[in-house]
Structure 1
């Protein structure tokens, strides 16, 4: 199913994006759930899927992590099942990510889906990323507060909450309604009846994550091997002193690694195109031969991108899941990055190049793209 968000994106970005929370009533008209509660519960029983159960009974918060064996012990109220990165594992649910491609792909993270019974929720909290919460089946009440300094506490080791707050938004969401919350705005939602919620989250890398990722890149490639040198070592009054010019020179050595544009671009492409969650990679058996790929595309078959696969472009270079895709056929590379579903025509004359076909076959045989049924 195709979903369309009734959002004026230029106006939304100017007024709300990273500025103010807002409820978009009937943001997706005639909304139909792409997944059932039973299907979601089944995903949470899989080893590879990140899931958790959060309950609030007798004044105590409890958190347990999947995979789950059974749900027979659960009551009829005050719990939620949350499953991360459902777009990686469930193709119909992955379609919910597409209406938000008005925002950059590299900022998009994953689709978290929660099923809650009456009273179910995770308590008042705040996030450090943008999120669009789409209401599915059922009704859920949401409260959002002003962005301010709030004391955080842990009622459970796996649960970080904030103190009570004054609400600037207090609404019941119905199917198709969208709640947008920028980073840092406290919020809480609890279910009024059995309900499904779909959270499209956005990635916001921290400086710490980027420094750590770049350090890994430098070590893997054995870069930065040049050592400090000082043939004209300056005199100083105290041997223990490190002089300001020496501090500057050491800092410049480090900045010099990051300041090389091509090297930084290659690292960024690899770093930012990696998924934070496991992908449902299923390489075809037997693997495709390049001529089979050619014949299938020429006959009208279409290649679909694996759910959750991050395909990003920097300049003319395209990266997928931490790897650069090497090819001189720029329009074909642009098609790989721009389209979720690909037809043969989108590749143009690249399909006549055996080297491109071999590369495309390698991507399909890696499980990154697959032929639609």
Structure 2
């Protein structure tokens, strides 16, 4: 288990989306939750998002996974695995302490392995990131936030910038945590062979929300109504769009937003969709409701799939949004939805009397058969 050595609420008040900082010894006695060989194994898989980045003097090389590691140079290269918490149970445990932040903001755990000199060059990200140093040491520089940084196109797949004057210039050792808010330029390179673990938090953009809501409206055939104006006036300028007509059309569009329940369901489904592939494996053979009931009566434990997103609204806790889908239980079963969304494991004691409820057993059987939850070993 990983526990912070610092007060997280105090951190939020002083640093969150305000300024970068290094928290020395943020994790005490930190041990890598995954070995380099295990990480390389993930990078070789088709389903896993991975990259190899190497620097050869002034030139950069980028390869996308699945990766192989034949004929790699001695130094100045890294490989990165995105969403490692989706594929490795040990790595997923590193995400747990960061659940003091809302899960709907969490993106993924990215892990990088770097040889001496390895890095991706100076760049700017538009999300919050906590970079925990694992084995080895890494030198980090972070600059001030401004709009004057000039891009440098050393490779078409690396959005690097030119140099900056650092406000942070330090070496991270195992257990140190570097926090970088959106928009602050940074550059890190390995002093010695090392592992870095980056937990990213990404807020949605206006464009993404509008596009997703439009898709939801179309898919559900909402607002399939034409513009009508029985009081249409005649005009001498047929090319003119009268102001009243423009306002009517704008009001038609705005009226789509004037459906609170529709908006809530869309938002729950949208935010619960993962940006990264999940390691979903359907149960084989499929479970029957009787097996699920017996499982929880024996107080066995289900674990939530790494990276699975599950949310609810506190005012309607009997409705949940899991991996882009809406699930609903009777109101007296709200504690089950809350447990599924707030906790990473579920057992018979947590369910209590709810393990006898047919609707609860039916939902849990569906989730097990989908592979969203699975029996703990």
- Give the structure-2-normalised TM-score: 0.96
User: Which residue does 2:48 correspond to in 1?
Assistant: 49
User: Which residue does 2:299 correspond to in 1?
Assistant: 300
- 2:297, 2:355 within 8 Å by CA — same for their partners in 1? no
2:284 is aligned with 1:285 = yes
The Cα offsets for residues 142-197 of structure 1, whole Å up to 9 and x where unpaired, read as 00000011122332111101111010000100000000000000001000000000
What's the secondary structure of 2:174's corresponding residue? coil
Aligned-CA RMSD value: 1.1
Q: How does 1:143-292 map to 2 (within 5 A)?
A: 143-149=141-147, 150-236=149-235, 238-292=237-291
Query: 1-side partners of 2:308 and 2:195: how far apart?
Result: 24
User: Which residue does 1:327 correspond to in 2?
Assistant: 329
Q: How does 1:359-370 map to 2 (within 5 A)?
A: 359-370=363-374
Instruction: Identify unmatched segments of 5+ residues in structure 1.
Output: none
User: Which residue does 2:19 correspond to in 1?
Assistant: 20
- 1:125, 1:188 within 8 Å by CA — same for their partners in 2? yes
2:320 to 318, 330, 333: 318
- 1:273, 1:322 within 8 Å by CA — same for their partners in 2? yes
- 2:336, 2:360 within 8 Å by CA — same for their partners in 1? no
- 1:228, 1:250 within 8 Å by CA — same for their partners in 2? yes
1:347 to 345, 351, 376: 351
**Greater shift in the superposed pair: 175-184 or 293-302:** 293-302
User: Which residue does 1:125 correspond to in 2?
Assistant: 123
- Give the structure-1-normalised TM-score: 0.97
User: Which residue does 1:141 correspond to in 2?
Assistant: 139
**Greater shift in the superposed pair: 322-331 or 148-157:** 148-157
- 1:44, 1:66 within 8 Å by CA — same for their partners in 2? yes
User: Which residue does 1:93 correspond to in 2?
Assistant: 91
How many residues get paired? 371
Q: Kindly report structure 1 stretches of 4+ aligned residues shifted beyond 3 Å.
A: 234-237
Query: 2-side partners of 1:190 and 1:148: how far apart?
Result: 23
Instruction: Identify unmatched segments of 5+ residues in structure 2.
Output: none
What's the secondary structure of 2:130's corresponding residue? strand
Query: 2-side partners of 1:23 and 1:238: how far apart?
Result: 65
Query: 2-side partners of 1:280 and 1:261: how far apart?
Result: 33
Query: 2-side partners of 1:244 and 1:157: how far apart?
Result: 46
Query: 2-side partners of 1:8 and 1:175: how far apart?
Result: 19
Shift of 1:259: 2.2
Query: 2-side partners of 1:333 and 1:219: how far apart?
Result: 28
